[in-house]
Amino acid sequence: MTLFVVGSVALDSIHTPFGETADALGGSAVYFSVAGALLHPVHVVGVVGSDYPVAQLDRLASRGIDWSGVERAEGESFRWKGKYSYDLQSRETLETRLGVFANFQPRIPEALHASRFVFLGNIDPELQHSVLDQVTAPQLVVCDTMNYWIQSKKPALMDLLRRVDILMVNDGEARELSGDWNIHRAGRWILAHGPKRVVIKQGEFGALLIEPGRTFYVPAFPLEEVFDPTGAGDAFAGGFMGYLARAGVANSDHLRRAMVYGAAMGSFAVSQFGINGFDGVTTVDVEQRVRAFHDLTHVAEAERIP
C-alpha cells in the first residue's frame, strides 16, 4: 500500500527553556515521514531551496523514506524560528521565511498517482485540491490545516472537506473552524460538513477520534522530560497513517489502534529537539510503547453493583 505526504520541508530554529537549536531539519513532511517510516515506507512531495542540506535528508532515506518527489528550486529554503514558554504550551513565532515554499506547486510523480493512502500536510487548501486532482481513487485521504487557512481560505477549505475522509486538526483549529468552543460539538459540526471522521489533537491532553455516533480518546504518553513539542502533531499524523498503510485497512478498530500509534510517535518526537527524538528508535521500541499505552488505559471490568 503506497503512502505519500505533501507538505513542508523546512529548517527550524527553536528556543525553549531547556535548550535551543538552529537550522535543524523540520517541516510537516519531515516529521511525518520520520515517524511514519518506522511502520511503512513513506514517499514525500515537497520543495527545498538551493541552500538546503539535502545530504541530511539522503541519510534518512535508509529508514524507508523516498525523497524523490522533493523538488530542488533555486533560492532560499523555508525557515521558521520560534520560542516556547516554560510550560511548552504556548509559543511565539519569531520569524517565518517561506522562500521557495511560497511558490510551491505540488507535482505528484506518476508512480504515486495510484497511491492508496494520502496525507495532505498543512498547505494552502487550493494546493491540497490540486493534489487530489492528481491521484486516482485513493483508499484514505487525511488532511491537516491551520488557523491561517481557516481565516483566509475558508471557502476552499470547506470544499476540500467534502473530498477527504479525515480532517486532522488541533483543538484551537477545530474551534475556529466550527465557531463552537465545545470541542465535541466542534467535531460534530465538522463531521456534518464532509469528512467521515475527525481527529482532534489536544497536545499534552491527548487526542480525540470523532466518528458518527461514537468518540474515542487516547491520552498523551506521560513523560518526565519534554524538550521540544514542535513536530509532535506531524509525528502523530505519521504514526497514524503509517499504521493504517501497514494494515491496509481503515475501519473503526484500526483507526483506534492508529490513534495509539500516533500518540506513541508524538511521545518520541517531543523527547528531543527536532527529529532527534527518533534517533535509534526501532519498531521494537514503538511496539513496547504501544503496549505501555494499553497498560496505561486498560481498566478491568468491574463487578456489578448489587
92: confidence class by pLDDT, cuts 50, 70, 90: confident
Which among 22, 26, 33 is positioned nearest to 8, based on CA atoms?
Answer: 26
Residue 297 has a pLDDT of 84
The pLDDT tens digits of the residues spanning 120-173 come to 999 999 999 999 999 998 999 999 999 989 999 999 999 999 999 999 999 999
Half-sphere exposure of 48 (CA within 13 A, CB side): 22
Amino acid at 180: D
Domain borders along the chain are 3-297
What pLDDT is stored for residue 177 in this prediction? Answer: 97
pLDDT at 305: 75
Which range in 86-90, 95-99, 109-113, 225-229 is most confidently predicted, on average pLDDT? 109-113
pLDDT band at 85 (very low <50, low <70, confident <90, very high): confident
Given a cut of 80, is residue 306 above it in pLDDT?
Answer: no
Residue-wise pLDDT for 209-261, tens only, equals 999 999 999 999 988 788 888 899 999 999 999 999 999 999 999 999 999 99
Cα distances from 233 to residues 75, 110, 135, 277, in angstroms, run: 28, 29, 25, 14
What spatial distance separates the first Cα and last Cα of the chain, rounded to whole Å?
51
Residue range 74-101: average pLDDT? 87
Q: What is the CATH number of domain 3-297?
A: 3.40.1190.20
Calpha distance 105→99 (Å, rounded): 13
Instruction: Write down the pTM of the prediction.
Output: 0.95
Average pLDDT value for the chain: 93
At 106, list the grid cell.
505540488
- Average pLDDT, integer, range 41-69: 96
Question: In this predicted model, which residue has the larger pLDDT, 19 or 125?
Answer: 125
Q: How far apart are CA 29 and CA 43, in angstroms?
A: 10
